[in-house]
Amino acid sequence: SLGPKATSAGYRLAAFDKVGSTNAEAMARARTGERDPTWFVTTEQTAGRGRRQRVWIAPRGNLASSVLEVMDISPAVAATMGFAFGLAHATALQRVSVEANLRLAGADQLQYLLKWPNDILVRGQKLCGLLLEAEAVTDGRLAVVAGIGTNVIAAPEGTPTPATSLAALGVHVGAEELFAALSDAWVEFRGIWDNGRGFGEIRKLWLDRAFGVGEPVAIKTGTATVEGTFDTIDDTGCLIVRTAEGKRMPITAGEVYFGTA
């Protein structure tokens, strides 16, 4: 179980046996005055929220984790926190997969990559989805909730992209061990994000772990589809696409398609 010792120093922990949505729970607590950084975690989420009004209903045994941070920052700066959060979890997954990777041949090595804006892919398949939400709270500060769902035992039903799970990959890690790795990595990456160097360092580290840099992409933005090559992300987190005509298109939101992923 996700016991009280599971989280890193400085963070409160609200662990649920079963809950509707850890993101919703975190935001509700911010609205009723919680100002301390807090983790909300469960292995069974019954009304999980996904990006673009999707649902994220995971079977019991998967891990849903959300961190609440109340800060004196703008929504634009808050948006960059998602990149630090995705990076922290990809790093945590890499660390808990050291043993599995010792058993695997070179070409089969598990590598956890970030798909813009913040899915985690392994072998080109979705393992985690991330949802970042922000809301102004009474004292003028911003409550930022970064939530991530990890397919420990199985992918949620109806995932629109090819998906996998740690169990299917042969990574036998419990939710508690995985959450401990995530909360430790979060302290580390939050520190890098917050230490005055701004987004620059996180941006570099994120690009080192990015899926599909230099590859052809199509992005559905709701109103249009932009096609081109995934060039980079800029210093606000926008995806930069280079079109066939050589035009540089910054994308703020949309669904990214790389071939099949």
Residue from 37, 82, 86, 129 in contact with ligand BTN (CB under 6 A): 129
Residue 49, token pair as written in the block: 């929220």
Residue 78, token pair as written in the block: 């808050």
From the list 20-28, 162-170, 185-193, 232-240, the region that binds ligand BTN by CB under 6 A is: 20-28
Residue from 67, 90, 121, 130 in contact with ligand BTN (CB under 6 A): 130
From the list 101-109, 124-132, 196-204, 244-252, the region that binds ligand BTN by CB under 6 A is: 124-132
Residue whose C-alpha is closest to residue 232's, from 248, 256, 253: 248
The 8-class DSSP code of residue 4 comes to G
Residue whose C-alpha is closest to residue 231's, from 219, 245, 248: 248
Please state, in angstroms and rounded to a whole number, the distance separating the CA atoms of residues 41 and 44. Answer: 9
Residue 224 CB neighbour total at 10 angstroms: 8
Residue from 86, 149, 228, 254 in contact with ligand BTN (CB under 6 A): 149
From the list 92-100, 141-149, 190-198, 202-210, the region that binds ligand BTN by CB under 6 A is: 141-149
Beta bridge partners of 166: none
Using rule CB under 6 A, residue 147 touches ligand BTN: yes
Using rule CB under 6 A, residue 82 touches ligand BTN: no
For 186, the enclosing helix (H) or strand (E) is helix 175-194
Using rule CB under 6 A, residue 68 touches ligand BTN: no
Using rule CB under 6 A, residue 161 touches ligand BTN: no
Residue from 14, 29, 37, 48 in contact with ligand BTN (CB under 6 A): 48
Using rule CB under 6 A, residue 54 touches ligand BTN: yes
Quick note: the x/- pattern for ligand BTN over 170-199, rule CB under 6 A, is: ------------------------------
Residue whose C-alpha is closest to residue 130's, from 145, 111, 112, 152: 145
Contact 238, 250 (CB under 8 A): yes
Please state, in angstroms and rounded to a whole number, the distance separating the CA atoms of residues 241 and 57. Answer: 32
Which residues of this chain interact with ligand BTN, rule CB under 6 A?
A: 21-23, 45, 48-51, 54, 56, 64, 66, 119, 129-131, 147-149
